[in-house]
Structure 1
Amino acid sequence: MSKTASNTPPEHFDIVLQPQTSFFKLNLAEVWRYRDLMWLFVRRDFVAQYKQTILGPVWHVIQPLLTTLMFLFLFGKVANIPTDGIEPVLFYMSGITIWNYFSACLTNTSNTFISNAAIFGKVYFPRLVIPLSVVISNIVRFGIQFGLLLVFMIVYAFKGVPIHFNLYWLCIPILVFVMAGIGLGLGIIISSLTTKYRDLSFLLTFAVQLGMYITPVAYPLSYLEKTKYKWLIDINPLTSITEAFRFCLFGKGTIEMQGVLYSLVFMVLVIGVGTLVFNRVEKNFMDTV
């Protein structure tokens, strides 16, 4: 009996599941192996969001248009805030486009653990796949709204408004990448904390609304140049990205390289901290969700 058992070949396992031992280990190679699953999540996020709506993705067009009209009335007509020589409609729409991408990445990523707890409890896959799929799926939304912005730029160009297509446009993907990184980092930090502190999800809604007003979305940075509140806008890592986005599009605005570098460093730090917290919570979040 023992002789037969000793001759039995050892079992071979294709996948060995082990607890995460390194806080900063991302397992990007494993995430890449599950890229097909990630694309399924991307499709799920986009389709499920509008599955039972009449207009579907058209809401991606309606929302920035309505917000632009509101900004035109409140900040343009009532407050009479200048737009740095940029056509007001284009000024507001450009700020709304880049801000919407950040806010969507942040809010949707922050629900990673809670909204996907049922999936996490049934099957194994790298947990980082879901927040990454959120960032990618929101690229589609950004692309639609950016395309709408381009249409308006072309329309105004025919009306005689000078529109300059230059090499700065090549920097736009980098700026979008930094926005996505900041949204991803902050989102996975909040998603990790909300497994124990559900109040953060309510606080986040308020924080996103407040964040838009301390980011030069509806006003140029130059408007606050001599005010006592400029320091608050300067420490916001989204300020320089928003201003640089407009500068790349229109060649006007306030752009400071140290501000862009600050945003880049902030993105790296927040992703690092987010990774640490995410890996720590990933071990036992099913016990608290």
Structure 2
Amino acid sequence: MSPAPPAEEDWTEIIEPRVGLLDLGLKEVWRYRDLVLLFVRRDFVSTYKQTILGPIWFFIQPLLTTITYMVVFNGIANMSTGGVPPLVFYLSGVTIWNYFAQALTATSTVFTANAAIFGKVYFPRLTMPLSIVLSNLVRFGIQLGLFLLIWSYYLLTTDALHPNLYLLLTPVLVVLMGLLALGLGMIFSALTTKYRDLAMLLAFGVQLLMYATPVIYPLAKLEALPEKYRWFILANPLNAIVETFRFGFLGSGSFSWAYLGYSALATAVILLVGTIIFNKVEKSFTDTV
């Protein structure tokens, strides 16, 4: 006689399909928070595990990028930085932009890069893109430390910087950057399950998006653009985030609660749409990847 099947309460995990469009499974992700932390540690350790310089690349990459911008845009193109020392001006934009760009690029390949493990082991798929955003937050913290060191030097040795209380909004700006990268990354991750060349297009698009964001120029420069182009750049929700970060630490540029509110609203919409699409695609992506 075959043994009786175990009672339902004996199971430690019951996997059921989601039927509602807005059933995002966030409670399930919270239950697997330890797995998220393991993924964060894996991403952080594996990135520079077999490199010669190791974590030093966290400092080398933003410094080399900043020096390149100083030579090209400030030296050759003679682009003004609004009276702010070029090194700290460009480094401020590079620091917060790198977090968004790296998190978006890594999140956009979640399905294709992890198809093998997704097809063998069950866990909430949202834990993977979330862990990527958090692991890049660790990198951002290290690079922010570098920026603060250089910022402190100029603050103590020159009168060119005028920090203000808006720098206290930095945690809010970082959260908005991370959530925006998460939302866009999940959308592109879902699309790349069928259209692989979108991953290459995204890498190119991120570079173009940087020029539509005040990373290498003050937002005031937009006044010189024709009206038909200016509105397109102002529609970029990243503008207010980068400009507020720079305004708070350097006192250069401008701040607007309206623009920052628009960025927060756009981030919330993109994150909601990205989560819905991601959860919908995860049900059948193994058939196309």
2:264 and 2:155 map into 1 onto residues whose CA distance is 33
The structure 2 residue matched to 1:24, chosen from 22, 25, 33, is: 22
1:130 match: 128
Is 1:220 the equivalent of 2:210? no
Deviation at 1:29, TM superposition (A): 1.8
1:23–1:275: 8 Å Cα contact kept in structure 2?
no
**1:10 corresponds to which letter in structure 2?**
A
Instruction: Kindly provide the amino acid, as one letter, of the partner of residue 141 in structure 2.
Output: G
Give the Å deviation of 1:56: 1.2
Structure 1 window deviating more from structure 2 (47-56 vs 184-193): it is: 47-56
With 40-49 and 18-27 compared, the bigger mean Cα shift is at 18-27
2:44 is aligned, of 30, 43, 46, to: 46
Q: How does 1:97-108 map to 2 (within 5 A)?
A: 97-108=95-106
Question: Within 5 A, what are the aligned runs for 1:238-277?
Answer: 238-277=238-277
Q: Once the two structures are aligned, what percentage of the paired residues are identical?
A: 54
Read off the aligned partner of 1:271 and give its amino acid letter: L
Q: Look up the SS of the partner of 2:224 in the other structure.
A: coil
Contact 2:166 2:244 in 1 (8 A): no
Specify whether residues 9 and 107 from structure 1 end up closer, same or farther in structure 2 by C-alpha distance, changes over 3 A only: closer
Give the aligned CA root-mean-square deviation in angstroms: 1.8
Match of 2:67 in 1: 69
Q: TM-score, normalised by structure 2?
A: 0.94
Cα distance, 1:82 vs structure 2 = 1.2
1:20/1:283 contact within 8 Å kept: no
Query: Which residue in the other structure is 1:79 paired with?
Result: 77
- 1:230 is aligned to 230
User: Secondary structure in 2 aligned to 1:85?
Assistant: coil
C-alpha distance in structure 2 between counterparts of 1:85 and 1:232, whole Å: 27
Give the whole-Å Cα distance in 1 for the aligned partners of 2:160 and 2:220.
Answer: 21
Could you tell me the TM-score, scaled by structure 1's length? Answer: 0.94
How far apart are 1:254 and its partner, in Å? 2.0
1:284 equivalent in structure 2: 284
- Structure 2: gaps spanning 5 or more residues: none
User: CA–CA distance in 1 between the matches of 2:224 and 2:70?
Assistant: 24
Structure 1: how far apart are the matches of 2:34 and 2:276? 26
Tell me the alpha carbon deviations over residues 255-274 of structure 1, each in whole angstroms, 9 at most, x when there is no partner: 22221111111101101111
- In the alignment, the residues of structure 1 paired with residue 158 and residue 252 of structure 2 have an alpha-carbon distance, to the nearest angstrom, of 17
Deviations 1:160-215 (CA, angstroms, capped at 9, x unpaired): 23545543222000011111111000000000111111010010010011111111
2:3 equivalent to 1:10: no
CA contact (8 A) 1:83 1:91 kept: yes
> Separation in 1 of the partners of 2:240 and 2:137?
20
- Structure 1 gaps, min length 5: none
Cα distance in 2 for partners of 1:87, 1:161 equals 10
Q: Which amino acid aligns with 1:187?
A: G
Letter in 1 for 2:57: W
Q: Please identify runs of 4+ aligned residues in structure 1 that moved more than 6 A.
A: none
Contact 2:58/2:143 (CA < 8 Å) preserved in 1?
A: yes
Aligned mates of 1:27, 1:278 — CA distance in 2:
11
Rg larger for: 1
One-letter code of the match for 2:203?
Answer: T
SS at structure 2 position matched to 1:225: helix
Cα distance change on mapping 1:186 and 1:9 into 2, 3 Å: closer
- SS in structure 1 of the partner of residue 264 of structure 2: helix
Post-superposition Cα deviations, 1:219-276, rounded to whole Å, max 9, x if no partner, equal 0010121311322220111111110110111222122222111111110110111112
